[in-house]
Structure 1
């Protein structure tokens, strides 16, 4: 509980929702209390009515009021329950909806940095599991705990107005049931909860890895190993959940024993208090029976507090996310963007990935970044996109830092990577993702510019042909051309080519590169590659090694002056 309290003291996600939605929170807790009050009142009046009826009253009018009250409280309880469910779920869904939107905006604005810090399975857990935990935090902890404390206060005052000594007994017993037992169960069950969360997280990560690498599992003939690994984790998780369930049973049993002790002492007190006359003896059954509806409320409070440790990691992860920032919207006209790297250094820990680089890319200029794997080429692209921030120096587009252009980055920079993802929908829909406001004519024109018209004409359904999952019905070269059509429709002045032909055969690679540089002749191109096929299409080549440029110049200049360049060019011809 101390850990949760410490987390909430610096919270930016949970407590603000309480302040913003105070009225809904108040009515949810109040109606939750009224459910228990109506149930207790129903049993109180019913106990009195049964006991009084057993005395054979001379006139039914004598018990008319208890009859009416029994009916009233009997109707009130489900009405309050319905109203409470309506109000509480409306409140929770509104809060979670706003939280989901805020979470998405935060994750989207720093998608690359989050991806660098968390595994894909952890991101899935953040976006799905954590929001469900927040929903349970409100419904199963906050509301029952709030109404339980109100009930505690109400019972103490109500009994104290009758007998203050007996009130002290109730005060102590309720403190044990509502405070001591929950805190003890929270402490005792904490290790099991942490183990359950760890296994759940492992299941997310392993399942994500299994799905992403499913083809390799199948090709290696290790499907049984995959199923066995997943099955072992799920079995461990089921065992831990079963242990937690058994612990919950024992906790509830202890609570019911305490309630039994409270019931017996209440029966003894009521007998001593009200057995003096025939007119008051009926209250013995009334007070005793009124205790039983309280059990559900007590158990709900204990269960909610015991589960509070489930929500710690969710709250920590949410508060570790950066706040969505209002990003500067700077509009650029096509082909006007000047890119400038000014003494840029980027370090990952103690390792320098990019070391004091400075260069400029003019509008419509085509450059190639060459280098071995790990040389820093992809880091330069991330710096350009603003996904990561340089340790020193600055990256600008038209003299504006790229961090201030995140809200407009998709209209400035388009990316064609090694394997552009195509969705299981029509060709038109896949290409239109480059610009969802484009007309059918504009989409068709971009497809034609990408050299796909003959392919479209050969398909029975033409533009409305289903791509299938990941575009598997088409070849690698065709998929890259569809991605090129999407970029044409996006109409960004800067195009980043991140080894888009690495998985293609030499003939298809040459054709695709020729098509790319032909249709993008009026765009600025930054091409990351590790070999020199098609290098004649660029204006300038940069060789990146150990975070620095060791060689730069036009292809023609380097062919004349660099033996290394000529050797690499010769190797790529064979």
Structure 2
């Protein structure tokens, strides 16, 4: 049994349908206005045809054609009015729906950022953002809307003709059925398969071109340049041949659509000629009315075949969106007033589509103000633990809580509890003051100067001609690495979060700058809970606890002093880090 791909994809859809249901009132209104637009267009031609015929018969009294004149004016005004209202409502509806889709997509990408970096290329992500959402928008504007309008008109035409002649209504039902069902289905089957093949050929061409361009020097050195060109010419020729078949099919199909409308017009002429037989100026005036009313309907029906064959493209977008990982929505915690004690109990995490545990049965307890250093090799699970702490990832097993609440439940408000300084803090192309106020929009100028004093940048900023109003270059490149870290720290001080997460903040800095920065961190954040992910042991003596994670498990834990005295592995790490080995 033949299945329409788009309908099959919609059956499993959890992205588009919820928003269509949510805004169904606006959708129904837009469809109704679209129906009224074509109804007004047909009514205008219907009344105009009658008026022309009636006026040509030299009526005895102008009042006899006054009512058709009024209807002509009414339909003439209502058509553009309904068209404008339909465009206003429909575009407002579709933009509202797609804006929610973009927000949902962004939230998915943002909350599962680590997953995407591991399993998707940047082009895939940009494709979802730019192409798939636009396809969903076109799904309504180019397929759903015209198809529903055409079906409403189809039903209205058959019912209206049924009042005059049931057998002629059946004839028109058959002819219009070929326009709303047969030709679109034919286009979907023939051109849909060709579009799928075209997509595969394009994908293969892109892959081959990328691989061959990257290795073009090998083709040249092996003196196979002509073979390289011939290979692409052959594949390109196949693609062009397929596209030409699609164009020829579309031309034949469009000719067939116009022919069917021609048959409808001829059938109406013959039927009305027999049905409305009378004197000149009598019932014969209805002949032009019925025949002319068909012409505005051409625009409603001739787009259906091309709309149907586009559904393959929309189907792919819906399938891709529904393949994205989703997390159950939870109400974010607001106005959290609990303590910021962190409890990690039997924590395990495995990335989707993998079997290896990145973290395996990890348990830790961090009281308020605790200073924890996390050591480990690359890939040991340190960054994953940081993502779990921020609530960006959900544990596969076990729990990770702040103040007794699981971190993923905080949502965006986690930034009120945990501040982060990464390897390369980002500064935006705006003033220094605006960059600082990202941490606290309500911060005063005096508070900004206070935090700059604490991080040792006040004199530098005061020496600049514009002071706090100095523009920061994109990414803050006018400042050194240590200065950017200090500005990021000042931003966090204005935010005043109780927990600070350092993700290797001193990588790439010279030893003197690194030590000065570490001293600044711990002097200004003495009362905060600090979680420090690092490879270097410089400044490690300032921590309350040091742990070493290997293969997702806790291999070493203790204070720096204890480990330096009793743990051979820590002693070796310390020796290597200090360059004494």
Q: TM-score range by the shorter chain?
A: 0.7 to 0.9
**Match of residue 268 from structure 1:** 270
Superposition deviation, residue 309 in structure 1: 3.3
1:414 maps to 2:419: yes
**Match of residue 154 from structure 2:** 152
Point out the more displaced range, 125-134 or 165-174.
125-134
- Aligned mate of 1:46, from 34, 45, 48: 48
Q: Could you tell me whether the CA contact under 8 Å between 1:178 and 1:298 is conserved in 2? A: yes
**Match of residue 34 from structure 1:** 36
| Structure 2: distance between partners of 1:475 and 1:202 | 46
Map 1:381-392 to 2 at 5 A. Answer: 381-392=386-397
- Aligned mate of 1:510, from 501, 512, 515: 515
**Match of residue 446 from structure 2:** 441
SS at match of 2:554: strand
- Aligned mate of 1:76, from 72, 75, 78: 78
Superposition deviation, residue 263 in structure 1: 1.7
| Structure 2: distance between partners of 1:356 and 1:518 | 34
Q: Could you tell me whether the CA contact under 8 Å between 2:331 and 2:409 is conserved in 1? A: no
Q: Could you say if the C-alpha distance between residues 560 and 547 of structure 1 is closer, same or farther in structure 2, counting changes exceeding 3 Å? A: same
| Structure 2: distance between partners of 1:113 and 1:573 | 35
SS at match of 2:295: coil
1:282 maps to 2:285: yes
SS at match of 1:455: helix
1:356 maps to 2:361: yes
Q: Could you tell me whether the CA contact under 8 Å between 2:187 and 2:306 is conserved in 1? A: no
Cα displacement string for residues 35-89 of structure 1 (whole angstroms, at most 9, x for unaligned residues)? 2122112222333333444445565555444334333322222122122223333
Cα displacement string for residues 326-361 of structure 1 (whole angstroms, at most 9, x for unaligned residues)? 13446246xx42222222222332212222222222
Superposition deviation, residue 294 in structure 1: 0.6
**Match of residue 178 from structure 2:** 176
Q: Could you say if the C-alpha distance between residues 251 and 479 of structure 1 is closer, same or farther in structure 2, counting changes exceeding 3 Å? A: farther
Q: Could you tell me whether the CA contact under 8 Å between 1:531 and 1:568 is conserved in 2? A: no
Superposition deviation, residue 539 in structure 1: 2.0
**Match of residue 474 from structure 2:** 469
Point out the more displaced range, 271-280 or 339-348.
271-280
Q: How many residues align?
A: 543
**Match of residue 572 from structure 1:** 577
Cα displacement string for residues 476-533 of structure 1 (whole angstroms, at most 9, x for unaligned residues)? 1211111111121221111111111112222222221221122111111111111222
SS at match of 1:433: coil
- Aligned mate of 2:340, from 305, 314, 337: 337
Superposition deviation, residue 367 in structure 1: 1.8
1:394 maps to 2:396: no
- Aligned mate of 2:187, from 185, 191, 214: 185
- Aligned mate of 1:526, from 531, 543, 550: 531
SS at match of 2:508: coil
Q: Could you tell me whether the CA contact under 8 Å between 2:111 and 2:393 is conserved in 1? A: no
| Structure 2: distance between partners of 1:243 and 1:421 | 52
Superposition deviation, residue 178 in structure 1: 0.8
Q: Could you tell me whether the CA contact under 8 Å between 1:121 and 1:201 is conserved in 2? A: no
Q: Could you tell me whether the CA contact under 8 Å between 1:369 and 1:542 is conserved in 2? A: yes
| Structure 2: distance between partners of 1:159 and 1:470 | 69
Q: Could you tell me whether the CA contact under 8 Å between 2:421 and 2:501 is conserved in 1? A: yes
Q: Could you say if the C-alpha distance between residues 358 and 26 of structure 1 is closer, same or farther in structure 2, counting changes exceeding 3 Å? A: closer
Q: Could you say if the C-alpha distance between residues 379 and 485 of structure 1 is closer, same or farther in structure 2, counting changes exceeding 3 Å? A: same
1:311 maps to 2:314: yes
Q: Could you say if the C-alpha distance between residues 16 and 81 of structure 1 is closer, same or farther in structure 2, counting changes exceeding 3 Å? A: same
Superposition deviation, residue 312 in structure 1: 2.7
| Structure 2: distance between partners of 1:265 and 1:438 | 78
Superposition deviation, residue 456 in structure 1: 0.4
Superposition deviation, residue 185 in structure 1: 1.8
Gapped regions of structure 2 (runs ≥ 5): 208-232
Q: Could you say if the C-alpha distance between residues 322 and 359 of structure 1 is closer, same or farther in structure 2, counting changes exceeding 3 Å? A: closer
Point out the more displaced range, 553-562 or 94-103.
94-103
Cα displacement string for residues 70-129 of structure 1 (whole angstroms, at most 9, x for unaligned residues)? 333222221221222233333334444555555555665555556655544444444454
TM-score (norm 1): 0.84
**Match of residue 327 from structure 1:** 332
**Match of residue 297 from structure 2:** 294
| Structure 1: distance between partners of 2:102 and 2:516 | 44
Superposition deviation, residue 289 in structure 1: 1.9
Point out the more displaced range, 375-384 or 139-148.
139-148
| Structure 2: distance between partners of 1:504 and 1:190 | 57
| Structure 1: distance between partners of 2:446 and 2:195 | 57
Cα displacement string for residues 265-315 of structure 1 (whole angstroms, at most 9, x for unaligned residues)? 222333343456432333333322221111001124444433333333443
- Aligned mate of 2:135, from 128, 133, 136: 133
SS at match of 1:373: coil
Superposition deviation, residue 424 in structure 1: 1.0
Superposition deviation, residue 177 in structure 1: 0.2
Gapped regions of structure 1 (runs ≥ 5): 206-231
**Match of residue 557 from structure 1:** 562
| Structure 1: distance between partners of 2:463 and 2:204 | 47
